[in-house]
A and B are shown apart, each in its own frame.
Chain A
Amino acid sequence: MRGWQQYRLLLALVLLASADMATRAQDSKSVIGPTNLELHDGAEALLVGDAEEGVRMTLIGLRQANSNRERYTAWSNLCAGYVMLEQLETALKYCDQVIEETDGHWRAFSNRALIYVKLRRYEEAERDLQRGEALSPDARTLKAVRAMLRDAVEPVAPSIVIDDRRQPADAGDED
């Protein structure tokens, strides 16, 4: 359960950034508001957990994309959306598309690493994480995927020692 919650949070973080990108896609033209409404609304739907609607809108947004940046955002969000729908192979296809087109999209590496973790393809997850971390060393989502990979490869269990033994220094502790 903990892994799933962590995973949903992670997707939310990736999508949040993607929604913002969809909104700001053409800042240089001083356009106010989203330039690709479907892409934006798709990201918003994914953010609130409506994966089916999110994917549907993002697919429409992808058809209307008029820049590489919008296409990368759409593919990256479709990757995340299909992960939410547990359709990992389809998700992987979209992440692969982003990465084939550009090797500078850390979110795609993050999403794909997440898929590889889910598919237990840990070496590939590690490789993508390293590439993503090189592009964005402080990205929280990458850190979260890194933690998931670590948990999968080197799981640990908490151990707590409660030590009530009196220590010499304790004796002097008066109120």
Chain B
Amino acid sequence: MKTNGAVCLALIASLSNAIANEDTQVTHLTDDAGDRQPLHTVVPVYPESARRERVEGDVQVCFNVDREGRTSRVRVRTSTHRVFEKPAKLALSASTYKPLAAEKKVSGIKTCRTFRFRLIPVAIERPADAG
């Protein structure tokens, strides 16, 4: 796997710490451009009302990460639909990053994360339809 600036794409649907709905497919896109690496990534819940109404959207949140990897001052930077803002902030607040090495200084630059809430069509085969 490339490491320098390469995008690391991983399906983490089985993420043990996820709080998302059971049937949520999760994709985590990362690169090594930032100085902090995710440790514990909590997946937001897709709001039921949005799912029912077939609403999709994006939310970008920006926040501070302290030396121990805890997030704070989580703010919504951009959002296409308000319904996604709260789950995005909750998930981010419960997520952590890898602690900084002792010799490194905490950067004043905020870290940002974008959540893209999408709905994908699924085909369900009912027992009565089989065969």
Contacts and interface: CB of A to CB of B under 8 A. Distances in A.
Contact of B7 (A156, A165, A170, A171): A165
Interface stretch (A23-31, A72-80, A109-117, A147-155): A147-155
Interface string A137-155: 0000000100100110011
Q: A interface, how many residues as a size bin?
A: 20 to 34
Interface of chain A: mostly helix, strand, loop or mixed: mixed
A144 B53 CA distance: 10
B120 A164 contact: no
Given A151-B52, A157-B24, A158-B20, A163 B119 contact: no
B31 A164 contact: yes
Nearest to A158: B46
Given A156-B121, A160-B118, A170-B112, A165 B51 contact: no
A154 B121 contact: yes
Contact of B115 (A161, A166, A171): A161
B27 A161 contact: yes
B124 interface: yes
B24 A159 contact: yes
Given A158-B46, A159-B25, A162-B43, A167 B118 contact: no
A162 B23 contact: no
Contacts of B62: 170, 173
Interface string A1-27: 010000000000000000000000000
A160 B46 contact: yes
B125 to A, nearest CB: 11
A100 interface: no
Contacts of A173: 62, 77, 109-110, 112
B44 A160 contact: yes
Given A155-B124, A166-B33, A170-B62, A160 B119 contact: no
Contacts of B116: 160-161, 163
Given A160-B117, A162-B114, A175-B109, 9 more contacts: A156-B120, A157-B25, A158-B21, A160-B26, A161-B29, A162-B28, A165-B30, A166-B33, A166-B34
Closest 10 CB pairs of A and B: A158-B46, A161-B116, A166-B33, A147-B52, A156-B119, A163-B114, A173-B110, A159-B118, A158-B24, A159-B25
7 contacts: A158-B21, A161-B114, A162-B26, A163-B115, A164-B31, A164-B34, A166-B33
